Chain A
């Protein structure tokens, strides 16, 4: 079969199975890695989600669940477990899927991939231990000069190195697939999106190492001083760019689900790939989003960096915002749902949680996370939003409503295809994206509302009951925080539904046999083909998508200028 691959490892006699649902050739070693990374991801989501619930209940003024010390501990654990460990473990599973599985290739160096897995797991556990011991409640951002226990930083470093190893295996697999000619022409669009995510990951993890390694030495006393502004600049080189890994990955997931469930093809390959390319070229910057009100950084740098060089990366997302629903509309119209403007949308498979989760993720990422992100990241507007609840409101719109919901949605395909198990509790699964989506929409909106009224993020007591100077936020702010609590419970319930369905299906689910695959196909005939091939849909009339995009654009423009109006009303400063 193969010659010695470029990675220098000996070709291994890979064992394959042929997927009865998609016809793809699946390397069993890759399959096992995908399973384990996904399972561990879900475990961290469960732990982190539980901490999220505790945090939301504490910030609900009428409940105020945890004592202060526990609150800051829980908030640190929540941030690390969901934002780093859940999301990145799942992304590694996606990388292996998009390379080995979609390209019909063997995985490069599975042993090294396992090494990466164990490093990540050890690092994640170590960081959790450090946080739970109580000496590392520094928030996952760990801004210096506040100091955590050394093994907190060490855990994050091990995790990052493990992730870097996994990314290397992904690139190695691409090389092998090309060498061994497992596919013809260019890689499928979904793989292309995964490549964008992986390239950004290399930049990101490197920044993380550059800052966390000296910070670790500082925590054990070898280095005496770390500059707090410099720390933030480099830390956010990791922190913000890593959000762009999430965006690339979940956009790839949107295309994958649209392709698998509906046989949707991108309107034009060229445009969609160009949009991913914009991510690769411009998303590395944008550390400035987090530095807009720091001392000692020039406005020129802030403006250039926060706008990703003239908003070219935002342009990438805006393009996907048309091409993903456009691809769905085109596929539906091809199926004959051509009545009126929206028949294609009404008759979409809303009972299929893979589809409903994907579509809700798309809409909420745009309307909640996307618009608020651009507003928050405008240099001067940041003055009226920085470090308020608006910030977590914004990113629960991106990384929870967007990324997390998209990853949940694709799980409903991964379980039957990769774990070869039927989805159990079908009714619960059907409702899950709606419950979780509604909950997350609520927390995102109400946190943003509270932030607009000034409420501080990462804050245990907004009544300031034992502060020497008495102060109260306005009554509406308390209402917002209460509603945030209510919707937080709903989001947690949606998360629990997901965990129960997935765990039950994976461990106790009915096996998906070949007969079953034949008698009850998971994907429409054109679905399986669409995800592994490429080619453009071509010209079609898409009145529905155009209407949706127009509504989005008007909302965006209005909301953007409203915030400049708000800014213009505060005390002049220069």
Chain B
């Protein structure tokens, strides 16, 4: 048996197996369901990542963040004296990522909307809000603006979950959620 002659040359005219046709139909419809679930969530779901983003110079972003901190710092924390900033509800709040910290610490009021601005000063970082587990990529040169509504009074942490060099595992920031005044 050196070369095996093809059994049926005209394979493209063979009838389809019924179980296969049924499965293809189901699988195709399931694909449509999954596709439209994503579209649908944009209209009805509450968790959609904003498409609002700008190119920005790291220095400009740092200036805006510092301006916010100057105006609304309520106390300082830790050995390094990181400011804890309590901006008014509804306002623009900034958090910057740099090797290897999230700056500053934010204090937000429960149930209020904030326009959160995120950007990096150097490499890429990952904004990973714990224990909520919301994860957003942060790039240098890009400013992402999203509207965030904190739920549940308490302490939250921002772990960096994009590898950013040897201090990556020390990069933790913080967000407090307090009762609305």
Contact between chains at A468 and B49 (CB < 8 Å): no
Contact between chains at B134 and A573 (CB < 8 Å): yes
A416 to nearest B CB, angstroms?
18
Within A46-77, the residues touching B (CB, 8 Å) are 68-69, 72
Contact between chains at B7 and A528 (CB < 8 Å): no
Within A236-282, the residues touching B (CB, 8 Å) are 267-271
| Number of A-B contacts defined by CB within 8 Å | 300
A534 within 8 A of B: yes
Interface bin, chain B: 35 or more
Residue in B138, B141, B172 whose CB lies within 8 Å of A464: B172
Query: Using Cβ atoms and an 8 Å threshold, which residues of chain A touch B19?
Result: 267, 322, 326, 542, 545-546
Contact between chains at B1 and A23 (CB < 8 Å): yes
Residue of B nearest to A274 (CB): B24
Expressed in whole angstroms, the Cα–Cα distance for A319 and B25 within the complex equals 10
Within B3-26, the residues touching A (CB, 8 Å) are 3-9, 11-12, 14-20, 23-24, 26
B138 to nearest A CB, angstroms?
8
Expressed in whole angstroms, the Cα–Cα distance for A322 and B173 within the complex equals 48
Known contacts A307-B38, A574-B146, A268 near B14 by CB under 8 Å:
yes
Task: Map CB proximity to B onto A437-468 as digits: 1 under 8 Å, 0 otherwise.
Answer: 00000000000000011101111111010111
B79 within 8 A of A: yes
Residue in A379, A461, A540 whose CB lies within 8 Å of B169: A461
Contact between chains at B38 and A267 (CB < 8 Å): no
Which stretch (B28-36, B63-71, B85-93) binds chain A?
Answer: B28-36
Contact between chains at B131 and A454 (CB < 8 Å): yes
Contact between chains at B47 and A572 (CB < 8 Å): yes
Contact between chains at B17 and A568 (CB < 8 Å): no
A186 within 8 A of B: yes
Contact between chains at B31 and A315 (CB < 8 Å): yes
Interface bin, chain A: 35 or more
Contact between chains at B11 and A567 (CB < 8 Å): no
Which stretch (A88-96, A156-164, A296-304, A487-495) binds chain B?
Answer: A296-304
Expressed in whole angstroms, the Cα–Cα distance for A143 and B124 within the complex equals 8
B57 within 8 A of A: no
Query: Using Cβ atoms and an 8 Å threshold, which residues of chain B touch A118?
Result: none
Contact between chains at A303 and B38 (CB < 8 Å): yes
B96 within 8 A of A: no
Residue of A nearest to B12 (CB): A270
Contact between chains at A567 and B142 (CB < 8 Å): no
Task: Map CB proximity to A onto B54-78 as digits: 1 under 8 Å, 0 otherwise.
Answer: 0100000000000000000000001
Query: Using Cβ atoms and an 8 Å threshold, which residues of chain B touch A380?
Result: 38, 41, 45, 47-49
Query: Using Cβ atoms and an 8 Å threshold, which residues of chain A touch B37?
Result: 378, 564
Contact between chains at B149 and A468 (CB < 8 Å): no
A349 within 8 A of B: no
A82 to nearest B CB, angstroms?
18
Contact between chains at A271 and B24 (CB < 8 Å): yes
B181 to nearest A CB, angstroms?
19
Task: Map CB proximity to B onto A317-334 as digits: 1 under 8 Å, 0 otherwise.
Answer: 011001100100000000
8 interchain residue pairs of minimum CB distance: A311-B31, A535-B7, A456-B161, A295-B144, A295-B53, A572-B46, A269-B11, A318-B27
In the complex, given contacts A146-B163, A471-B159, A536-B14, what are 11 additional A-B residue pairs having Cβ atoms less than 8 angstroms apart? Answer: A146-B164, A185-B9, A186-B11, A269-B12, A294-B137, A294-B139, A322-B19, A378-B38, A386-B126, A388-B128, A529-B4
Residues of A within 8 A of B (CB): 18, 23-25, 68-69, 72, 104, 138-139, 143, 145-146, 182-186, 227-229, 267-271, 292-299, 303, 307, 310-312, 314-315, 318-319, 322-323, 326, 374, 378-380, 382-388, 452-454, 456-462, 464, 466-471, 473-474, 528-529, 532-540, 542, 545-546, 549, 553, 556-557, 560, 564, 567-568, 570-574
Residues of B within 8 A of A (CB): 1-9, 11-12, 14-20, 23-24, 26-28, 30-32, 34-35, 37-39, 41-42, 45-51, 53, 55, 78-80, 82, 101, 118, 122-124, 126, 128-144, 146-151, 157, 159-166, 168-174
